[in-house]
Structure 1
Amino acid sequence: MDAINYEEQPGTGIVIVKGRECMIDGKGQAIPLTNVAPADKLQDELVRKIIGFAADLNGRISRFRDHTMGDLCSFDALLAQEYGAKIGGKKGNRTYQSYDGLMQVRVQVSDRIEFGPELQIAKSLIDECLTEWSAESRPEIQSIVARAFNTDREGQINKSELFMLLRLEIEEERWKRAMEAIRASIRVTGSKEYVRFYSRRNLEAAWEAITIDLAKA
Protein backbone atom coordinates (compact mmCIF):
# COMPACT_ATOMS: atom_id res chain seq x y z
CA MET A 1 0.00 0.00 0.00
CA ASP A 2 1.40 3.40 -0.96
CA ALA A 3 2.09 5.83 1.85
CA ILE A 4 -0.50 8.58 2.21
CA ASN A 5 0.81 12.11 1.88
CA TYR A 6 -1.12 14.41 4.19
CA GLU A 7 -0.92 17.55 6.24
CA GLU A 8 -1.70 16.94 9.91
CA GLN A 9 -3.67 19.31 12.10
CA PRO A 10 -1.90 18.76 15.46
CA GLY A 11 -3.99 17.42 18.33
CA THR A 12 -7.18 16.99 16.32
CA GLY A 13 -6.77 13.62 14.60
CA ILE A 14 -7.76 15.37 11.37
CA VAL A 15 -5.47 15.40 8.34
CA ILE A 16 -5.70 17.15 4.98
CA VAL A 17 -5.41 14.82 2.00
CA LYS A 18 -5.60 16.45 -1.42
CA GLY A 19 -7.47 19.39 0.08
CA ARG A 20 -10.01 17.23 1.94
CA GLU A 21 -10.38 16.79 5.69
CA CYS A 22 -9.88 13.14 6.62
CA MET A 23 -9.13 10.87 9.57
CA ILE A 24 -6.66 7.97 9.43
CA ASP A 25 -8.29 4.69 10.44
CA GLY A 26 -6.74 1.63 12.10
CA LYS A 27 -5.63 0.29 8.71
CA GLY A 28 -3.77 3.47 7.84
CA GLN A 29 -6.36 4.56 5.30
CA ALA A 30 -7.52 8.17 4.99
CA ILE A 31 -11.28 8.32 5.51
CA PRO A 32 -13.08 11.56 4.49
CA LEU A 33 -14.35 13.33 7.57
CA THR A 34 -17.90 13.27 6.21
CA ASN A 35 -17.76 9.46 6.15
CA VAL A 36 -16.65 9.06 9.78
CA ALA A 37 -19.54 8.25 12.14
CA PRO A 38 -20.31 11.02 14.69
CA ALA A 39 -19.79 8.57 17.58
CA ASP A 40 -16.32 7.69 16.25
CA LYS A 41 -15.42 11.38 15.95
CA LEU A 42 -16.62 12.02 19.50
CA GLN A 43 -14.71 9.02 20.88
CA ASP A 44 -11.54 10.08 19.05
CA GLU A 45 -11.81 13.60 20.47
CA LEU A 46 -12.42 12.22 23.99
CA VAL A 47 -9.44 9.87 23.89
CA ARG A 48 -7.09 12.54 22.51
CA LYS A 49 -8.18 14.95 25.25
CA ILE A 50 -7.62 12.40 28.04
CA ILE A 51 -4.28 11.23 26.64
CA GLY A 52 -3.15 14.84 26.37
CA PHE A 53 -3.84 15.39 30.08
CA ALA A 54 -2.26 12.00 30.95
CA ALA A 55 0.94 12.76 29.03
CA ASP A 56 1.21 16.17 30.71
CA LEU A 57 0.61 14.63 34.16
CA ASN A 58 3.19 11.93 33.48
CA GLY A 59 5.75 14.59 32.65
CA ARG A 60 4.96 16.56 35.81
CA ILE A 61 5.20 13.43 37.99
CA SER A 62 8.58 12.60 36.44
CA ARG A 63 9.83 16.12 37.12
CA PHE A 64 8.45 15.96 40.68
CA ARG A 65 10.23 12.64 41.28
CA ASP A 66 13.53 13.99 39.94
CA HIS A 67 13.28 17.20 41.98
CA THR A 68 12.33 15.24 45.12
CA MET A 69 15.27 12.84 44.84
CA GLY A 70 17.58 15.77 44.08
CA ASP A 71 16.40 17.70 47.16
CA LEU A 72 16.76 14.64 49.42
CA CYS A 73 20.25 13.88 48.12
CA SER A 74 21.26 17.52 48.67
CA PHE A 75 19.97 17.34 52.24
CA ASP A 76 21.87 14.08 52.83
CA ALA A 77 25.06 15.68 51.52
CA LEU A 78 24.52 18.70 53.81
CA LEU A 79 24.13 16.46 56.85
CA ALA A 80 27.23 14.50 55.93
CA GLN A 81 29.28 17.66 55.39
CA GLU A 82 28.09 19.70 58.38
CA TYR A 83 27.53 17.04 61.00
CA GLY A 84 29.24 13.89 59.76
CA ALA A 85 25.87 12.10 60.07
CA LYS A 86 23.45 10.42 57.71
CA ILE A 87 19.84 9.27 57.69
CA GLY A 88 18.94 5.65 57.14
CA GLY A 89 19.98 2.12 57.87
CA LYS A 90 22.33 -0.35 56.20
CA LYS A 91 19.96 -1.03 53.31
CA GLY A 92 19.58 2.65 52.47
CA ASN A 93 16.01 3.13 53.72
CA ARG A 94 15.51 6.67 54.99
CA THR A 95 12.72 8.60 56.73
CA TYR A 96 12.45 12.40 56.76
CA GLN A 97 9.94 14.06 59.10
CA SER A 98 8.49 17.51 59.58
CA TYR A 99 9.26 19.31 62.86
CA ASP A 100 5.68 18.87 64.12
CA GLY A 101 5.78 15.10 63.45
CA LEU A 102 2.74 15.19 61.14
CA MET A 103 4.40 14.65 57.76
CA GLN A 104 6.90 12.11 56.50
CA VAL A 105 8.83 11.34 53.34
CA ARG A 106 10.15 7.78 53.21
CA VAL A 107 12.73 6.43 50.80
CA GLN A 108 12.60 2.65 50.58
CA VAL A 109 15.19 0.58 48.75
CA SER A 110 14.02 -2.65 47.15
CA ASP A 111 16.47 -5.25 45.86
CA ARG A 112 16.08 -6.51 42.29
CA ILE A 113 16.25 -10.29 42.45
CA GLU A 114 16.85 -12.83 39.70
CA PHE A 115 17.26 -16.59 39.86
CA GLY A 116 20.10 -18.74 38.57
CA PRO A 117 20.04 -22.25 37.02
CA GLU A 118 19.83 -23.85 40.47
CA LEU A 119 16.13 -23.00 40.37
CA GLN A 120 15.56 -25.67 37.71
CA ILE A 121 17.19 -28.25 39.97
CA ALA A 122 14.85 -27.16 42.76
CA LYS A 123 11.84 -27.51 40.47
CA SER A 124 12.86 -31.09 39.49
CA LEU A 125 13.27 -32.12 43.14
CA ILE A 126 9.93 -30.56 44.10
CA ASP A 127 8.21 -32.32 41.20
CA GLU A 128 9.66 -35.63 42.39
CA CYS A 129 8.31 -35.00 45.88
CA LEU A 130 4.83 -34.08 44.66
CA THR A 131 4.68 -37.10 42.33
CA GLU A 132 5.70 -39.49 45.10
CA TRP A 133 3.36 -37.93 47.65
CA SER A 134 0.54 -37.78 45.04
CA ALA A 135 -2.81 -37.88 46.83
CA GLU A 136 -1.13 -37.65 50.21
CA SER A 137 0.30 -34.18 49.51
CA ARG A 138 -1.76 -31.27 50.74
CA PRO A 139 -3.60 -29.34 47.99
CA GLU A 140 -2.35 -26.02 49.37
CA ILE A 141 1.28 -27.09 48.84
CA GLN A 142 0.53 -28.11 45.26
CA SER A 143 -1.17 -24.75 44.73
CA ILE A 144 1.78 -22.76 46.09
CA VAL A 145 4.21 -24.73 43.91
CA ALA A 146 2.07 -24.15 40.82
CA ARG A 147 1.88 -20.39 41.48
CA ALA A 148 5.57 -20.10 42.40
CA PHE A 149 6.82 -21.50 39.12
CA ASN A 150 4.16 -19.86 36.96
CA THR A 151 5.64 -16.75 35.35
CA ASP A 152 3.88 -13.41 35.78
CA ARG A 153 2.97 -10.90 33.08
CA GLU A 154 6.59 -9.72 32.80
CA GLY A 155 7.75 -13.32 32.32
CA GLN A 156 9.32 -13.41 35.78
CA ILE A 157 9.05 -16.13 38.41
CA ASN A 158 6.47 -15.31 41.11
CA LYS A 159 8.92 -14.31 43.86
CA SER A 160 6.43 -13.96 46.73
CA GLU A 161 5.02 -17.46 46.16
CA LEU A 162 8.52 -18.89 45.74
CA PHE A 163 9.60 -17.43 49.07
CA MET A 164 6.49 -18.98 50.66
CA LEU A 165 7.91 -22.39 49.75
CA LEU A 166 10.99 -21.59 51.84
CA ARG A 167 8.79 -21.07 54.89
CA LEU A 168 7.11 -24.48 54.69
CA GLU A 169 8.25 -26.91 57.39
CA ILE A 170 8.76 -30.17 55.46
CA GLU A 171 11.37 -32.68 56.65
CA GLU A 172 11.64 -34.76 53.47
CA GLU A 173 15.33 -34.83 52.41
CA ARG A 174 14.69 -34.04 48.74
CA TRP A 175 12.46 -31.12 49.74
CA LYS A 176 15.26 -29.73 51.92
CA ARG A 177 17.71 -30.05 49.02
CA ALA A 178 15.20 -28.25 46.79
CA MET A 179 14.96 -25.38 49.28
CA GLU A 180 18.77 -25.19 49.43
CA ALA A 181 18.82 -25.00 45.62
CA ILE A 182 16.27 -22.15 45.67
CA ARG A 183 18.39 -20.22 48.17
CA ALA A 184 21.51 -20.83 46.07
CA SER A 185 19.71 -19.60 42.93
CA ILE A 186 18.92 -16.13 44.34
CA ARG A 187 20.91 -13.33 42.72
CA VAL A 188 20.64 -9.70 43.86
CA THR A 189 21.27 -7.80 40.62
CA GLY A 190 20.64 -4.26 41.82
CA SER A 191 18.23 -2.10 43.72
CA LYS A 192 15.61 0.57 43.13
CA GLU A 193 14.53 3.45 45.34
CA TYR A 194 10.86 4.25 45.98
CA VAL A 195 9.69 7.52 47.54
CA ARG A 196 6.47 7.45 49.58
CA PHE A 197 4.65 10.27 51.33
CA TYR A 198 2.62 10.19 54.56
CA SER A 199 0.70 12.55 56.80
CA ARG A 200 -1.47 12.35 59.91
CA ARG A 201 -3.95 14.67 61.60
CA ASN A 202 -2.27 14.53 65.03
CA LEU A 203 0.47 12.67 66.86
CA GLU A 204 -1.92 9.93 68.02
CA ALA A 205 -3.37 9.27 64.55
CA ALA A 206 -2.12 6.58 62.17
CA TRP A 207 -0.01 7.57 59.18
CA GLU A 208 -2.00 7.88 55.95
CA ALA A 209 -0.31 7.51 52.58
CA ILE A 210 -0.52 10.38 50.09
CA THR A 211 -1.03 8.31 46.95
CA ILE A 212 0.32 9.26 43.54
CA ASP A 213 -1.28 6.30 41.80
CA LEU A 214 -4.53 6.44 39.79
CA ALA A 215 -5.54 2.97 40.96
CA LYS A 216 -5.27 3.98 44.62
CA ALA A 217 -6.07 7.70 44.59
Structure 2
Amino acid sequence: MNDPQEPAWWENSQGHRVPVDRVKPEDKMKDELARRLMAGAEGVQEVIRQFKKTAFEETLAAQQLIFDQYGAKVGGAGGNISFRSYDGSIEVRVAVNKTTGFGPELGAAKALIDECIESWSEGSNDNVRALINHAFQVEKGNIDTARVLGLRQLDMKDEDGNPDARWKRAMDAIGNAVIVKGSATYVRFYKREPGTDKLIGVPLDIAKL
Protein backbone atom coordinates (compact mmCIF):
# COMPACT_ATOMS: atom_id res chain seq x y z
CA MET A 1 0.00 0.00 0.00
CA ASN A 2 1.27 3.45 -0.90
CA ASP A 3 1.99 5.90 1.90
CA PRO A 4 -0.69 8.63 1.66
CA GLN A 5 1.85 11.10 3.01
CA GLU A 6 4.36 10.35 0.25
CA PRO A 7 4.33 12.79 -2.68
CA ALA A 8 3.24 11.48 -6.06
CA TRP A 9 6.54 12.52 -7.59
CA TRP A 10 10.12 13.39 -6.66
CA GLU A 11 12.28 16.05 -8.25
CA ASN A 12 15.62 14.76 -9.50
CA SER A 13 18.95 16.61 -9.69
CA GLN A 14 18.06 17.95 -13.17
CA GLY A 15 14.84 19.48 -11.86
CA HIS A 16 12.64 16.86 -13.55
CA ARG A 17 9.59 15.42 -11.85
CA VAL A 18 9.81 11.66 -11.52
CA PRO A 19 6.78 9.56 -10.46
CA VAL A 20 7.54 8.12 -7.05
CA ASP A 21 6.96 4.57 -8.24
CA ARG A 22 9.75 5.09 -10.78
CA VAL A 23 12.29 6.04 -8.13
CA LYS A 24 14.58 3.09 -7.40
CA PRO A 25 14.59 1.71 -3.83
CA GLU A 26 18.35 2.33 -3.53
CA ASP A 27 17.82 5.97 -4.57
CA LYS A 28 15.15 6.32 -1.91
CA MET A 29 17.53 4.81 0.65
CA LYS A 30 20.33 7.21 -0.31
CA ASP A 31 17.92 10.16 -0.20
CA GLU A 32 16.72 9.20 3.27
CA LEU A 33 20.27 8.71 4.55
CA ALA A 34 21.49 12.04 3.14
CA ARG A 35 18.55 13.98 4.57
CA ARG A 36 18.77 12.31 7.98
CA LEU A 37 22.50 12.92 8.35
CA MET A 38 22.12 16.49 7.09
CA ALA A 39 19.48 17.14 9.75
CA GLY A 40 21.94 15.84 12.35
CA ALA A 41 24.76 17.97 10.94
CA GLU A 42 22.59 21.10 11.02
CA GLY A 43 21.69 20.32 14.62
CA VAL A 44 25.37 19.99 15.58
CA GLN A 45 26.15 23.18 13.64
CA GLU A 46 23.58 25.09 15.66
CA VAL A 47 24.98 23.69 18.92
CA ILE A 48 28.49 24.84 17.93
CA ARG A 49 27.16 28.23 16.83
CA GLN A 50 25.48 28.77 20.18
CA PHE A 51 28.57 27.50 22.03
CA LYS A 52 30.76 29.93 20.09
CA LYS A 53 28.42 32.79 20.96
CA THR A 54 28.46 31.80 24.63
CA ALA A 55 32.26 31.46 24.64
CA PHE A 56 32.73 34.95 23.20
CA GLU A 57 30.22 36.48 25.60
CA GLU A 58 31.76 34.85 28.66
CA THR A 59 35.38 35.60 27.76
CA LEU A 60 34.47 39.22 27.03
CA ALA A 61 32.64 39.44 30.36
CA ALA A 62 35.67 37.98 32.16
CA GLN A 63 37.96 40.44 30.39
CA GLN A 64 35.67 43.31 31.35
CA LEU A 65 35.71 42.17 34.98
CA ILE A 66 39.52 42.16 35.02
CA PHE A 67 39.66 45.60 33.37
CA ASP A 68 37.15 46.97 35.87
CA GLN A 69 39.47 46.01 38.71
CA TYR A 70 42.06 48.39 37.30
CA GLY A 71 39.68 51.08 36.11
CA ALA A 72 40.45 50.40 32.46
CA LYS A 73 38.13 50.14 29.50
CA VAL A 74 37.90 47.22 27.11
CA GLY A 75 38.36 48.50 23.58
CA GLY A 76 37.50 46.83 20.30
CA ALA A 77 38.63 43.40 19.15
CA GLY A 78 42.23 44.43 18.83
CA GLY A 79 44.24 41.99 20.87
CA ASN A 80 44.57 38.39 21.94
CA ILE A 81 43.77 37.05 25.37
CA SER A 82 43.91 33.65 27.05
CA PHE A 83 42.36 32.08 30.13
CA ARG A 84 43.98 29.15 31.94
CA SER A 85 42.70 26.79 34.56
CA TYR A 86 44.40 27.09 37.94
CA ASP A 87 46.46 23.94 37.38
CA GLY A 88 47.43 25.06 33.87
CA SER A 89 45.97 21.97 32.23
CA ILE A 90 43.33 23.86 30.21
CA GLU A 91 43.63 27.03 28.17
CA VAL A 92 41.07 29.02 26.21
CA ARG A 93 42.53 31.46 23.69
CA VAL A 94 40.69 34.27 21.97
CA ALA A 95 42.69 35.35 18.94
CA VAL A 96 42.17 38.21 16.51
CA ASN A 97 43.55 37.70 13.02
CA LYS A 98 43.75 40.79 10.85
CA THR A 99 43.80 40.71 7.06
CA THR A 100 46.10 43.39 5.73
CA GLY A 101 46.94 44.81 2.35
CA PHE A 102 48.77 47.80 0.93
CA GLY A 103 47.74 51.15 -0.49
CA PRO A 104 49.42 53.17 -3.26
CA GLU A 105 52.20 54.27 -0.88
CA LEU A 106 53.75 50.85 -1.47
CA GLY A 107 54.68 51.95 -5.00
CA ALA A 108 56.65 54.87 -3.57
CA ALA A 109 58.36 52.52 -1.13
CA LYS A 110 59.38 50.17 -3.94
CA ALA A 111 60.78 53.08 -5.98
CA LEU A 112 62.87 54.26 -3.03
CA ILE A 113 64.08 50.71 -2.37
CA ASP A 114 65.10 50.40 -6.02
CA GLU A 115 67.12 53.61 -5.65
CA CYS A 116 68.86 52.12 -2.62
CA ILE A 117 69.69 48.93 -4.52
CA GLU A 118 71.16 50.93 -7.41
CA SER A 119 73.35 52.91 -5.02
CA TRP A 120 74.74 49.84 -3.29
CA SER A 121 78.06 48.64 -4.60
CA GLU A 122 78.17 45.36 -6.51
CA GLY A 123 78.19 42.37 -4.15
CA SER A 124 77.11 44.33 -1.10
CA ASN A 125 73.88 43.55 0.76
CA ASP A 126 73.22 40.50 -1.42
CA ASN A 127 71.12 38.93 1.32
CA VAL A 128 68.96 42.04 1.55
CA ARG A 129 68.55 42.08 -2.23
CA ALA A 130 67.26 38.51 -2.05
CA LEU A 131 64.80 39.43 0.71
CA ILE A 132 63.53 42.36 -1.33
CA ASN A 133 63.13 40.22 -4.45
CA HIS A 134 61.15 37.63 -2.50
CA ALA A 135 58.95 40.30 -0.91
CA PHE A 136 58.20 42.14 -4.17
CA GLN A 137 57.44 39.59 -6.88
CA VAL A 138 55.40 42.19 -8.73
CA GLU A 139 56.04 40.66 -12.13
CA LYS A 140 54.27 37.52 -10.88
CA GLY A 141 51.49 39.54 -9.33
CA ASN A 142 52.64 38.56 -5.85
CA ILE A 143 53.44 40.73 -2.87
CA ASP A 144 54.36 38.83 0.28
CA THR A 145 52.81 40.90 3.06
CA ALA A 146 54.85 39.35 5.87
CA ARG A 147 58.14 39.72 3.98
CA VAL A 148 57.40 43.33 3.01
CA LEU A 149 56.62 44.23 6.62
CA GLY A 150 59.71 42.31 7.71
CA LEU A 151 61.89 44.70 5.70
CA ARG A 152 61.15 47.36 8.30
CA GLN A 153 63.24 45.40 10.80
CA LEU A 154 66.38 45.96 8.72
CA ASP A 155 68.67 48.83 9.67
CA MET A 156 70.31 49.72 6.37
CA LYS A 157 73.25 52.10 6.09
CA ASP A 158 74.72 54.00 3.19
CA GLU A 159 78.25 53.64 1.81
CA ASP A 160 79.59 55.90 4.58
CA GLY A 161 78.08 53.75 7.34
CA ASN A 162 75.33 56.24 8.16
CA PRO A 163 71.62 55.35 8.33
CA ASP A 164 70.32 55.35 4.75
CA ALA A 165 67.79 58.19 4.54
CA ARG A 166 66.12 56.77 1.43
CA TRP A 167 65.71 53.39 3.09
CA LYS A 168 64.10 55.04 6.12
CA ARG A 169 61.67 56.95 3.86
CA ALA A 170 60.87 53.70 2.07
CA MET A 171 60.12 51.96 5.38
CA ASP A 172 57.95 54.90 6.46
CA ALA A 173 56.06 54.57 3.17
CA ILE A 174 55.52 50.86 3.82
CA GLY A 175 54.13 51.67 7.26
CA ASN A 176 51.76 54.25 5.78
CA ALA A 177 50.73 51.83 3.03
CA VAL A 178 49.37 49.19 5.40
CA ILE A 179 45.60 48.83 5.18
CA VAL A 180 43.62 46.61 7.54
CA LYS A 181 41.01 45.03 5.26
CA GLY A 182 39.23 43.19 8.02
CA SER A 183 39.61 41.03 11.08
CA ALA A 184 38.24 37.76 12.37
CA THR A 185 38.07 36.63 15.98
CA TYR A 186 38.56 32.99 16.90
CA VAL A 187 38.22 31.06 20.12
CA ARG A 188 40.39 27.97 20.49
CA PHE A 189 40.64 25.38 23.22
CA TYR A 190 43.70 23.53 24.50
CA LYS A 191 44.34 20.86 27.11
CA ARG A 192 47.50 19.38 28.53
CA GLU A 193 48.65 16.18 26.92
CA PRO A 194 48.76 13.49 29.63
CA GLY A 195 52.23 13.00 31.05
CA THR A 196 53.64 16.14 29.43
CA ASP A 197 53.56 19.92 29.79
CA LYS A 198 52.45 20.32 26.18
CA LEU A 199 49.07 21.87 25.42
CA ILE A 200 47.27 20.33 22.46
CA GLY A 201 44.33 21.79 20.58
CA VAL A 202 40.83 20.42 21.04
CA PRO A 203 39.52 20.13 17.46
CA LEU A 204 35.95 21.17 16.71
CA ASP A 205 36.34 20.40 13.00
CA ILE A 206 34.55 17.12 12.28
CA ALA A 207 37.27 16.18 9.77
CA LYS A 208 39.85 16.23 12.58
CA LEU A 209 37.90 14.14 15.07
Global fold match (TM > 0.5): yes
Instruction: Decide whether the 8 Å contact of 1:200 with 1:208 is kept in 2.
Output: yes
Structure 1 residue 35, shift from structure 2 partner: 1.0
Instruction: Decide whether the 8 Å contact of 1:93 with 1:109 is kept in 2.
Output: yes
SS of the residue corresponding to residue 27 of structure 1 reads coil
Q: Evaluate the alpha carbon distance shift between residue 104 and residue 32 of structure 1 in structure 2; reply closer, same or farther with a 3 A threshold.
A: same
Aligned 1:65-144 pairs, distance under 5 A: 65-81=52-68, 83-84=69-70, 91-117=78-104
Q: Evaluate the alpha carbon distance shift between residue 39 and residue 207 of structure 1 in structure 2; reply closer, same or farther with a 3 A threshold.
A: same
Larger Rg: 2
Flag structure 1 segments of 5+ consecutive residues without an equivalent: 1-8, 125-137, 151-157
Q: Evaluate the alpha carbon distance shift between residue 116 and residue 59 of structure 1 in structure 2; reply closer, same or farther with a 3 A threshold.
A: same
For 1:38, the equivalent position in structure 2 comes to 25
TM-score after normalising by structure 1 = 0.60
Q: Evaluate the alpha carbon distance shift between residue 181 and residue 149 of structure 1 in structure 2; reply closer, same or farther with a 3 A threshold.
A: farther
Pairing 1:191–2:191 present: no
Structure 1 residue 215, shift from structure 2 partner: 3.0
- Distance in 1 (CA, whole Å) between partners of 2:140 and 2:105 is 15
SS of the residue corresponding to residue 40 of structure 1 reads helix
- Distance in 2 (CA, whole Å) between partners of 1:114 and 1:76 is 30
For 1:24, the equivalent position in structure 2 comes to 11
Instruction: Decide whether the 8 Å contact of 1:148 with 1:162 is kept in 2.
Output: no
- Greater displacement, 178-187 / 22-31: 178-187
For 1:211, the equivalent position in structure 2 comes to 203
Q: Deviations over 1:72-114 (max 9, x none)?
A: 1222222233x2278x9x9521110111111010111111324
Structure 1 residue 27, shift from structure 2 partner: 3.0
SS of the residue corresponding to residue 26 of structure 2 reads helix
For 1:163, the equivalent position in structure 2 comes to 146
Root-mean-square deviation (Å) = 4.5
SS of the residue corresponding to residue 50 of structure 1 reads helix
- Distance in 1 (CA, whole Å) between partners of 2:110 and 2:20 is 59
Flag structure 2 segments of 5+ consecutive residues without an equivalent: 112-129, 157-166
Highest RCO, 1 vs 2 (Cα 8 Å, sep ≥ 6): 2
Structure 1 residue 149, shift from structure 2 partner: 3.2
Paired positions, count: 181
Structure 1 residue 37, shift from structure 2 partner: 2.4
Instruction: Decide whether the 8 Å contact of 1:94 with 1:106 is kept in 2.
Output: yes
Paired-residue identity, %: 31
Instruction: Decide whether the 8 Å contact of 2:103 with 2:177 is kept in 1.
Output: yes
- Distance in 2 (CA, whole Å) between partners of 1:31 and 1:103 is 55
TM-score after normalising by structure 2 = 0.62
SS of the residue corresponding to residue 70 of structure 1 reads helix
Structure 1 residue 147, shift from structure 2 partner: 11
